[in-house]
Structure 1
Amino acid sequence: MEHTFQIEGMSCGGCVAAVEQALKSVPGVTTVRVDLGAKSALIEFDPSKTAPPALREAIEAAGYEVVA
């Protein structure tokens, strides 16, 4: 399964790396693609192990805002 989030607060490659690292630490996440220009993250995950609310929490815990 995959889900895309719009993310505010990313301004550089370090921000991209921080979001990627936060999402990859969530059990069940298989692929993370963060696009700085589009301010988005596409996450592929195993729905039996995680869900979008947990992914959103990981992004917010890293210090970024998920836009509805």
Structure 2
Amino acid sequence: MHKGGAIMLIGTNINIQGMSCRGCSAAIKLALEDTKGVNRAEVDLDRGKANVLYEAKLTSPEKLCGLINRLGYKAAVTEG
């Protein structure tokens, strides 16, 4: 977590099922990075995971998972 003035950035890990190629991971990365409040997104096809750095006031892990689910994949926040 990083506090810089009024902006608080939080990192979250998301498990993603259903990615089968680099095009899948690239589409998810682009959609996440186009989301208001997302500072950075990395998607690992081989591990089936995304790591997202976002502004807590603008989005949430649940919203990010919902976005990925609407793209046709199954996403869930990694516990722990």
TM-score range, shorter chain: over 0.9
Structure 1: segments with no counterpart, 5+ residues: none
More relative contact order, 1 or 2 (CA 8 Å, 6+ apart): 1
Bigger fraction of residues in strand: 2
Q: Tell me how large the CA RMSD over aligned residues is.
A: 1.1
Based on CA coordinates, which of the two structures has the bigger radius of gyration? 2
Q: How does 1:1-68 map to 2 (within 5 A)?
A: 1-67=10-76
More helix by proportion, 1 or 2?
1
* Aligned counterparts of 2:34 and 2:62: Cα–Cα separation in 1: 14
Structure 1 segments of 4+ aligned residues over 6 angstroms from their partners: none
What TM-score does the superposition give when structure 1 sets the normalisation length? 0.92
TM-score computed with the length of structure 2 as normaliser: 0.79
Kindly provide the amino acid, as one letter, of the partner of residue 22 in structure 2: G
Q: 1:8 is aligned with what amino acid?
A: Q
Residues 5-53 of structure 1: CA deviation (Å, up to 9, x unaligned) = 1100001110011111221121100100000111000000000111111
CA distance in 1 between counterparts of 2:27 and 2:38 reads: 15
Conserved? CA contact 2:16–2:48, under 8 Å: yes
Give the share of equivalent positions with the same residue, in percent. 34
